[in-house]
Amino acid sequence: MIRVETLELGYGERLVLKDLNFQVKQGEFVGLLGPNGSGKSTLLHALSGLLAPRQGKIIIRDEHLGTLSSRLRAQMLAVVPQTSDVRFPFPCLEIVLMGRYPHRQRLGSLTDEDLLWALRSMRRTTTEHLQERPVTEVSGGERQRVVIARALAQDPQILLLDEATSSLDVRKKLEIFEILKFLNATQNLTVLCAMHDLNLAALYCGRLMFIRDGGIVRDGPTEEVFTPAILGQVYETPMEVIRHPGHQRPYAVMLPLSPGEMEEDAPEVARA
């Protein structure tokens, strides 16, 4: 579904990521992890077509991303950002229906099928009761779930999420990932999500890709790369990994920084 070759990304003169080479197969559920500023969002911006590569290739289903029309790209890819700044008081149902635009005939009107897609997506994200509410009058978490519903209504083959559930409470966060898990298993939806919640990633993602220092430092099945050594290397934080007694997936336990570690960091903090 996605092939990246010798990709280099940046903004102006600032280089963010370089020499990226990886593939994402159809139906994979991939977590993109790394510390703040490591380039997770930058990579998703490039994969969605919002950021042109400095060099290298992004291939989506054997087509160069840059050659795809915006309409065709939107039929294949849906993107959910961390936050969505919607300033006009559109009803929430209308926001979700916007996800159907790539599938409409040129100058065609919305169909009953489009409405069914929108209502199903709102039901899945528990936002059906917000249909008539202006999107400017709902909470931040409700708005984010409406935006996720819009992406689901788009019926994409690939779903890119950039910290898309960070503003949701624990229950709603789990509900969204259960939906993604279901669509991944039943409809072969390819999911690539940038995340900070390590244990949520370990619980739902079959593959983890760790980014740090301008590149991919580890990439592989969750069971193989979710280890204390790799987590400690990526986040510079002592951690233990145990088997959760409930779901038996690997589970990270953070350990407190030692006084010695804090003293070593103090000069760096002072200079910053």
139 Cβ contact partners less than 8 Å away, ≥ 6 residues apart: none
Per-residue confidence at 216, pLDDT binned at 50, 70, 90?
very high
* Confidence (pLDDT) at 107: 64
Give 237-245's long-range contacts (Cβ < 8 A, gap of 24+).
none
Quote the tokens at residue 86: 């919607």
pLDDT-derived band at 267 (thresholds 50, 70, 90) equals low
Rounded percentage of the chain residues whose pLDDT exceeds 70: 94
Mean pLDDT of the chain: 93
Beta bridge partners of residue 9, listed in sequence order: 17
Tens-place pLDDT, residues 42-88: 999 999 999 999 999 999 999 999 999 999 999 999 999 988 777 88
Reported as a single tens digit per residue, the pLDDT across 16-39 is 999 999 999 999 999 999 999 999
What confidence category does residue 170 fall into, taking pLDDT thresholds of 50, 70 and 90? very high
What pLDDT sits at residue 82? 87
pLDDT for the residue 178: 97
Say if residue 270's pLDDT is above 50: no
User: Region 157-172: what's the mean pLDDT?
Assistant: 95
What is residue 246's predicted lDDT score, i.e. its pLDDT? Answer: 87
| Over residues 190-196, mean pLDDT | 97
Q: Which residue has the higher pLDDT, 262 or 251?
A: 251
Question: Which region among 100-114, 199-213, 220-234 has the lowest average model confidence (pLDDT)?
Answer: 100-114
What residue ranges do the domains of the chain occupy?
Answer: 2-220
Per-residue pLDDT at 87:
80
Q: Which two tokens stand for residue 35?
A: 């510390």
- From CA 226, how far away is CA 250, in angstroms rounded? 7
* CATH superfamily, with its number, for domain 2-220: P-loop containing nucleotide triphosphate hydrolases (3.40.50.300)
pTM (predicted TM-score): 0.91
